[in-house]
Structure 1
Amino acid sequence: MTDTLQLQSEAAARPKPAIPLPTSVARAATAAGAVITAASAFLSWTYSSQFPGDLTVSGYPGGLQWITFAGGLLTLLYTLVGYRVPVLRLLAPGGPEGTTVLLAVGSAVTTWFTLIAISVELGGLANLTGGGWVAGVGSLVAVVGALALPRDGEQTQDAKLRVLLYAGKRPELPPTQPESPWVEVPVVLVTLAVALGIFSYGIDTAYAELFGGFLILTGFTAWALNRSGDFTRLAALMQRNRTTAAVGAFVAAGLFPFTQQGGNAEANANLGVSILIFAATALGLNIVVGLAGLLDLGYVAFLGVGAYTAALVSGAAGAAFHVQFPFWAAALLGAAVSGVFGVLLGAPTLRVRGDYLAIVTLGFGEIFRIVVQNLDGTSGPNVTNGAIGISNVPDLNIFGFDFGSPHSLGWFTIGRFANYFELMLLFTAIIVLVFARSTNSRIGRAWIAIREDETAATAMGINGFRFKLLAFALGATLAGLAGTVFVHVNYSVVPDTFQFAGPTPPNSAFLLAAVVIGGMGTVTGPLVGASLFFLLQAKLSFLHDYQLLLFGLTLILFMRFRPEGIIPNRRRQLEFHEAETAEA
């Protein structure tokens, strides 16, 4: 009797649908709206071809219509899950209704974003054709239908209540068992292929409106899949197949330049290698911030140390030293010099903690920029050419392979930036390996203990100063290694690149945000966070001075709704959601 009353109270406490409609009517309306939204992509939306993507053509989607088409199909797919089709039911272990609402809203927001953009850029709603209005109305019908669906778990609770009333006991759900490797490995590979396709499409968006629509739908879809439980299941699957997932991820990343052929191939490859440099540097910062818990606000200076060191010994025409080391020697020297600077900074400053350490590291970052700016032969010895920096850094030539020239591989042409992309991908793999091995070692456990409670760690025999100094040195070394590739990709290095904050990365503020929002203490978190921030900066450059405003709003939203990061560390996720865990 107690169980019956408890289930009755649980069912009564669950939120009711926002719009009171019979479930069958709501599901049919959602499906119909999704079909209309997807089908409208094959109609013309405007009379004028001046809007990017040429939405005047009927018969096939173009530009932003592809985004709407994808949104409609996803909404339809999860609506069909609600009909309890056995195969599709696997897509939403957490319940399809809330997922369907998010997908329907994401599709509607993307559609109306396009319609409003057409009206604003072309001068009014009169520029919309019937196809545009069909898309707008269809997307709203899908939202209304989705809002009328029962909330996730409500039908399950009713079924449990009926079983309890008639059988007199609470049903037990069977635990989820791992699938066969013959099933899981293909799922991992397909997931990585889909991720590569989504990333390639996003980076290849030719204009801001298309990237905006892509970003809206991707964000709502990620939210919906997290709500459905798909991401949780996928994370467990990846964890069980760690080796396959890691190797497959780097193979998929290595195939990225081959997906970028045509007029924008070099520009997209340039963006790709810049993302890798930024992400690898953020992963080095993750050792300092995510593992050891040390707030470093001047970390970008170590990237600059590696870049300047490599520029000075790589035979650049503007370098003070007329020497040319092999690249492997220049890379090792840049990493070593950065590591030494990490020790020199850490030795006198790691006696302080918290805000004081943050202020000291912020000062170091500014001191580095000012010093290299003054080593111009006037204010100091001529080492770095001051504000104009070191230019004309030659392209790499390793074992006869010229990184500055395009190369043909069958039907594919790999340009200069694609060559450096593959090189930086190798460096990123090394940095990921170092980070992963360090995390799972005795040293990594000591860093985590210091991060959680340095006083308690010291009482347990951990030498806090030594391990914090090691974190600073290793993080600086990895940043310096990335800097040696950075200077060759950009042909030059100038002091103003290495600031605490600015409109463009890399800078310390963006690096720290990439680590925090991506997920501190994880391998993939900073990589995802860095990719997100760099893409936002590159694709939304038309915002100019409003970029920092958007950056700030993004930080606020993430700290409010996802404080543990996009890919959270399990311990941090439990800490941030301790109240919800206790209630469960």
Structure 2
Amino acid sequence: MTTTDTTRATAPATAPGALPLPAGAARAATAAGAVLTFASTFLAWTWTGAFPGNLTVTGYPGGLQVLTLTGALLTTLFLLAGHGIRGLRWLTPGGTNSPVVLLALGTAAVTWYAAGAIAFTLGGLVNLEPGGWLAAAASLLTAVAALGLPADTPADPEHPPTDPWQRLRHSLRAPAPARARTLPSWAEILLIAAAFAVALYVFTYGIATEYGELFVGFLLLTLLAVPALAKAGLLRRVTALTAKHRNVSITAAFVAAAAFPFLQSDNEFTSIAVNILIFATVALGLNVVVGLAGLLDLGYVAFLGVGAYTAALVSGSPFSTIGVHFPFWAAVLTGAAVSLVFGVLIGAPTLRLRGDYLAIVTLGFGEIFRIGMQNLDGISGPSVTNGSTGVPQIPDLELLGYNFGEPHTLLGFEFTRSANYFWLMLIITVVVVSVFRRSDTSRIGRAWVAIREDETAARAMGINAFRLKLMAFALGATLAGLAGTVQAHTVSSIDPEQYKFVEAVPPNSAFLLAAVILGGMGTVGGPLIGAALLYLIPAKLQFIGEYQLLLFGIALVLLMRFRPEGLVADRRKQLEFHETGQLDVPDTDGDTPGKPGLSKAEA
């Protein structure tokens, strides 16, 4: 038997479940609950169409029922894959029961949220039809029974999870053993293409949700389904394949993103995607400053404003006080260059500060920029920016005769203004990602990481910390200015209020910093995912009103508690937050469990 066959044949070890249920009974109850949950989506959940999604139809799932159906189907598939169905074993190359637990909990969360939303919107539980009651009971049965399944190999084999709370934490945090299987190259490329196609479909579904309740349900299921796929080992397998076929993966990612406008029937969703790309690009620029160099910048949105104002003033707006009209390429280069100059001018006198002092200075710069743009109105100061009015009627970009503001037809599809700017912003995002990746892997990038980890030690090793920090600050400012030039033409009107430290709609400095930390500092995918979430959530949860920031804050607290390294973390951050750093030393006297080499008195 070869090494690969041995690895594949080895089943992951298990420990007792968190509930006093025999493994067979827990497995049978989980399967029965999942099947009943699946069947309940074909029944009416309420009697009136006043609740969005048309949940009154029997025999055809709709709205939140589709999410419950998806969760129940995935729970069943992973349950079968982990227990004897050969054709589905590829679904669980890592863990077996932990993915089932997470998917069952996600399905229950969506279903109970739907029942609660129906009762709240329509005025009581009496508005639930038998299908709704069946869905709630069956999903709860599935989640409870899944907690009774044997736990996959725990982090501490001598102390397996003994209650549901520990079982859930184990499902989220315990490492999954990998079982790799060698595939032909063509099959691996097909898997990469399928993974990006699924990611595109999920993103398209989330951004195109028609009402807030459906988006909340989508979030609940996704936030537990993604860790489930990670625990199953699928995400790790896809990551390994993308690293192996890097050029194919980059091409597949670009093609999937470029195909997004083809899947949209509403211009509003494409416009949201354009703003997400702008937000994500600026977050990547901030990731150079915060994630790589470790410089806490609280006024970073000012560099976005510098690029936007520069492009607005030189792009031929009738309200521009300069009165010039640069072509597209010149406006972009001018905006990036002016942002670079501001980055050097602000960084040179301030980057000798560290920590909180640097954060306060950058916060002050952000506010100075906003107030300065407001006062350059010809009354409080020179007439440059029109003050609080800003620069409206910024003309659309035009490149080689292609006007981005006019609709165009391609392959029988008619694309609007938003689709044109989406493709332009996608190209700029690719450029920024390339710059970030090359900077990260370069000698300068390694020096930035050394400064971030310990500036004193880096200086002792001969690194010119001030010069390198100034380079990071200037590079981050340039990338933000580059995105700002496109933002000015996309929104067609800018004013100082768009660049506050905290604003209801991102991008702003607080949300940019949250996107970097939430997604994962020092990574490429982290800020992209964090920016997408932080832009979509306020845009989709407007029906919550004043409770929006409260729920957002609670979500951030929970995420920082259970995944402090971010949604996408590099190996260094995972070790920093989840490893003690102490070697396992045998207990020499055996007197004190858990305190190797110490006596009871010393402990």
Residue 477 of structure 2 corresponds to 476
The one-character-per-residue Cα deviations of 1:505-538 (angstroms, maximum 9, x if unpaired) are 1100100111111111111111011001111111
- Equivalents in 2 of 1:229, 1:583: separation in Å? 27
- Measured against aligned partners, the alpha-carbon deviations of 1:308-353 in whole angstroms (never above 9, x if no partner) come to 0000000111111111100110000000000000000010001111
C-alpha displacement of 1:571: 1.1
Does structure 2 conserve the Cα–Cα contact (< 8 Å) formed by 1:503 and 1:547? no
**In the alignment, what sits opposite 1:555?**
556
2:104/2:142 contact within 8 Å kept: yes
329-338 or 26-35: bigger deviation = 26-35
d(CA) in 2 for partners of 1:583, 1:284: 40
Q: Which digits, 9 at most, give the CA deviation of each residue in 1:234-256, with x for residues without a partner? A: 22222222222222111111111
CA distance in 2, matches of 1:453, 1:506: 30
Cross-structure match for 1:130: 130
Q: 1:225 aligns with which of 218, 221, 229?
A: 229
Residue 34 of structure 2: aligned partner? 34
Aligned partner of 2:285 in structure 1 is 284
SS of residue matched to 2:512: helix
Matched residues in 1 for 2:519 and 2:566: separation? 5
Structure 1 residues 83, 14: closer, same or farther in 2, change over 3 A?
closer
For residue 102 of structure 1, what is the amino acid of its counterpart? L
Shift of 1:124: 1.3
Cα distance in 2 between the residues matched to 1:117 and 1:150: 33
Q: Flag the 1:175–1:24 CA change in 2: closer, same or farther, 3 A.
A: closer
CA distance in 2, matches of 1:547, 1:305: 30
- How many residue pairs get aligned? The number is 553
Cα shift at 1:364: 0.4
Q: Distance in 1 between matches of 2:382 and 2:419?
A: 37
Secondary structure of 2:414 counterpart: strand
Shift of 1:178: 5.0
Q: Deviations over 1:30-85 (max 9, x none)?
A: 11211111122111111101110111111211111110110110110111023222
The TM-score normalised by the length of structure 2 is 0.89
The 2-side partners of 1:217 and 1:85 are apart by 25
Distance in 1 (CA, whole Å) between partners of 2:496 and 2:321 is: 16
Alpha-carbon separation, structure 1, partners of 2:281 and 2:584: 39
Q: Which moved more, 1:64-73 or 1:495-504?
A: 495-504
Give 2:495's aligned residue: 494
Q: Kindly report which structure 2 residues correspond to 1:11-410, keeping only aligned pairs within 5 A, or say none.
A: 16-153=16-153, 176=180, 178-261=182-265, 265-410=266-411
Q: Is the 8 A contact 1:94 1:152 kept in 2?
A: no
1:190-239 CA-to-partner distances (Å, cap 9, x unmatched) read 00000000000000000000001110000110122223332223222222
Q: Which runs of 5+ in 1 are unaligned?
A: 1-12, 159-172
Q: Deviations over 1:135-168 (max 9, x none)?
A: 11221221232122111149xx99xxxxxxxxxx
Tell which deviates more after alignment, 468-477 or 19-28.
19-28
Question: Residues of 2 paired with 1:366 and 1:324: CA distance?
Answer: 29
Tell me what 1:8 maps to: none
Q: Structure 2 vs 1, CA of residues 268 and 378 (structure 1 numbering), >3 Å: closer, same or farther?
A: same
Instruction: Look up the SS of the partner of 2:68 in the other structure.
Output: helix
Distance 1:190 1:42, change over 3 A: same
Contact 2:94 2:178 in 1 (8 A): no
Are the aligned partners of 1:43 and 1:131 in contact in 2 as well (CA < 8 Å)?
yes
What is the correspondence of 1:434-473 to structure 2 with a 5 Å cutoff? Answer: 434-473=435-474
Deviates more, 1:108-117 or 1:194-203: 108-117
| Cross-structure match for 1:546 | 547
**Partner of 2:409: helix, strand, or coil?**
strand
Gaps of 5+ in 2: 1-12, 159-176, 586-603
Q: What letter matches 2:78 in structure 1?
A: Y
1:431 and 2:435 equivalent?
Answer: no
- What's the counterpart of residue 162 of structure 1? none
C-alpha distance 316-58 of structure 1, shift in aligned 2 (>3 A): same
Q: Which amino acid aligns with 2:439?
A: S
Distance (Å, rounded) in 2 between the aligned partners of 1:457 and 1:320 = 47
Structure 1 runs (4+) deviating above 4 angstroms are: 580-584
Question: Does the 8 A contact of 1:110 with 1:213 survive in 2?
Answer: yes
* Shift, 1:580, TM fit: 8.2
Instruction: Please provide the CA RMSD for this pair.
Output: 2.0
CA distance in 2, matches of 1:321, 1:471: 31
- Secondary structure of the residue aligned to 1:95 is coil
Cα distance in 2 for residues equivalent to 1:466 and 1:295:
17
Report the identity percentage: 59
22-31 or 322-331, which deviates more: 22-31
Q: Equivalents in 2 of 1:243, 1:340: separation in Å?
A: 35
1:345 corresponds to which letter in structure 2?
I
- Once residues 175 and 191 of structure 1 are traced to their aligned partners in structure 2, the CA distance between those partners, rounded to angstroms, is 19
Q: Which amino acid aligns with 1:198?
A: V
Contact 1:51 1:118 in 2 (8 A): yes
1:579 aligns to what SS in structure 2?
A: coil
1:79-137 CA distances to partner (integer Å, 9 max, x unpaired)? 10232223322322332212111111110110111111111111111211111112112
Q: Indicate the larger mover: 500-509 or 283-292.
A: 500-509
* Partner residue in 2 for 1:7: none
Residues 92, 177 of structure 1: alpha-carbon distance in 2 compared, 3 angstrom cutoff: closer
The one-letter amino acid of 1:318's match is F
